[in-house]
Structure formats: structure tokens, C-alpha cells
Amino acid sequence: MTLGKIGLVAAAALIAGAAHAQDNPQVGGADMFADRTIVENAVNSPVHTTLVAAVQQAGLVDTLNSAGPFTVFAPTDDAFGMLSDDSLSALMMDENREQLAQILTCHVVATNALSDAIAGMIADDGGMHPVPTVGGCTLQARMSGGTITLTDENGREATVTVADVRQSNGVIHVIDRVLLPAGQAG
């Protein structure tokens, strides 16, 4: 292949990649790519650095890179900032890895659920739909205006701020609060 043809192939790949990203919402100003995994896209999100560090610390990278499908309700750095510094520091300690993994998997559902499907389940269930998570928590999904909200077992409410960020192994919905298993305070 000549240098000119290589340049054309590279340009075509860049254009295809950019077009592919345009099909997906941006997160924190960063393009998200539907042909990448949840972890690959999260690493590129400037508003999910704490989540990525927590996923690494909890040993969940391989799981969230696997085929899935998964729906991840992904708390932003600001959402993690709502936890006390002491609580977050303690969760990131090696001896609390199991607790951290449970909290994180309480944000994961073992299916690919886009927002229109979630809204439909909420409507079908009379305004509230239970969402069982991989971590053993049950979130309650509701509609507030045209926006999905989730309530954890402690009554903490998170709002989906960016919905339907497609991934190769599922979907991410960005949320504005960390959800916790029953009895855990932040």
C-alpha cells in the first residue's frame, strides 16, 4: 500500500469513528463509542475517574469488559463527591474491597435496558418499577417529568442525567448520586 493510500485509509477510519461516536451521547464532553466496552468508554470519560478507580480497586474490570450485556447506572465524580471523604477513602482500602464491589454491582443490571424500555416498565407497573441489580440490591425506578430517577434501599435518589450511552456490551446511564445497599450510609 502506498503512503497516499494509507493516509486515505486512516482518514476514512477516523471519519467512520467520528460518525460512530455521533450516534452516542457525549459524556463529560468526551465521545463515547458503541463499539467499545463499558470500561473502555468509562476510562475516556472525564467525569468518571472515581468510578474507574473504584472498579479497578474492586476487581471488576474483567467483568465489565466481558460480553455482558450490562446496564450500568454510572455515578459521576460529583456523585462520589457527595460521599464523605472518610467513607470514600475507607471504601478504597484493600480490606473493604468486597463492600466496594457490592456497592458498585448495585449499579449494574444483567441486561441491556435502554431508557425507553425502562420508561415502559415504569408505566406498565403503575409509576414505579423494581430493578434488581447484580449486587443484590433492588432499586426503584420512577419517571420525574421525562427523566428516570432511581431510589436505593436507603431512600437515596439518583437522577439519570445522560441516558442511553450505548456500549459493545450494554448501556450506561449516567447518574448524579451513588446508590447504596440497605443499611449503608454515605
Sheet with 129-132, side-by-side order of all strands: 108-109, 70-75, 170-175, 157-167, 147-151, 138-144, 129-132
- pTM for the full model? 0.85
Among residues 139, 143, 63, 83, which one has the least CA distance to residue 107? Answer: 139
172 by DSSP, 3-state: which?
Answer: strand
Residues of the chain with pLDDT under 50: 1-21
pLDDT computed for residue 10 by the predictor: 39
Cβ–Cβ contacts within 10 Å for residue 35, how many?
A: 13
Taken in order of first residue, the domains within the chain and their CATH numbers are 3-175 (2.30.180.10)
Cell 445497599, residue located: 181
pLDDT for position 4? 43
For residue 144, which phi and psi values (nearest 5 degrees)? -125, 105
Give the separation between CA 80 and CA 87, rounded to whole angstroms.
Answer: 10
